[in-house]
A = this chain, B = another copy of it.
Amino acid sequence: MKRHFDTDLEDLRGRLLRMGGLCEEMVQHAVKVVVERDVSRLAAVQGWERQVNALHIEIDEVCLRLIALHQPAAGDLRLIAAAIKINSDLERVGDQAVNIAETGGYLCKEPLIKLGDIPRMVEVAAGMLKDSLDAFARGDVELARDVIKRDDEEDRLKSQTFNELVTLMQRDASAIQRGMDIILIARNLERIADHATNIAEDVIFMVLGKDIRHSSEEI
């Protein structure tokens, strides 16, 4: 027979995945403001942010209530602790998506500028976010390790984008403001990848009870 507590934990997992799904949508749409110059998507991103913020508060409440009511230990406690942290990472992913969409909104009013590696950065960050959430849903340690490995690629793309844009800005002063905006978007994407990495580390801790953060050990 299923414990009542198991149902509660399922519910918690479900809420977190719903929040994660919203964050994925936010990132996808935010990026379209930039890449497709489709400013109409900005309002949708801002609307989802309100839902994400509501879930942020709600999930924290659920976590504390579950601890107080069920006095969890071992794996159950690690799941709840992971949920508290993933909740906070997802909320910040939502913030980054709003930043991207808003900066994209300014860029739409200006002449087109080369985006360089931004589309590739989007692909890597969105893929990492999706897979970190799948790893959480399935408790999949291998997938979580794979997410963590991909973070280096995103950092490399960000540095490349920085360098290309600085060169462009040095050649064409009229591109400085827009170049800066693209650099900030690259930075937002890099941070989304960082949050996905955090989520993946939390999944590994949740499943194995092993804290691999800050460790140089082979993941």
Chain A residues close to B by CB (< 8 Å): 53-54, 56-57, 60-61, 63-64, 67-68, 71-74, 77-78, 81, 84-85, 88, 162, 166, 169-170, 173, 176-177, 180, 183-184, 187, 211, 213-214
Contact in complex: A176, B183 (CB < 8 Å):
no
**With a CB–CB cut-off of 8 A, which chain B residues contact A60?**
81, 211
As for how many copies of this chain the complex holds, the number is 2
Residue of B nearest to A198 (CB): B88
Contact in complex: B211, A57 (CB < 8 Å):
yes
Contact in complex: A73, B81 (CB < 8 Å):
no
**With a CB–CB cut-off of 8 A, which chain B residues contact A73?**
68
Q: Give A176 to B171 CA distance when docked, in angstroms.
A: 10
Contact in complex: B187, A176 (CB < 8 Å):
no
Please report whether the interface of chain A is mostly helix, strand, loop or mixed according to DSSP.
Answer: helix
CB distance from A119 to the nearest CB of B (A): 22
Q: Which of B53, B84, B213 contacts A85 (CB 8 A)?
A: B84
Known: A56-B213, A60-B211, A77-B68. A180 touches B183 (CB 8 A): yes
Contact in complex: A214, B64 (CB < 8 Å):
no
Q: Give A176 to B175 CA distance when docked, in angstroms.
A: 12
Contact in complex: A211, B77 (CB < 8 Å):
no
Would you mind naming 19 contact pairs between A and B with Cβ atoms under 8 Å apart? A56-B213, A57-B213, A60-B211, A61-B211, A64-B78, A64-B81, A67-B72, A68-B73, A68-B77, A71-B71, A81-B84, A84-B85, A88-B88, A166-B176, A166-B177, A169-B173, A169-B176, A180-B183, A187-B187
**With a CB–CB cut-off of 8 A, which chain B residues contact A183?**
180
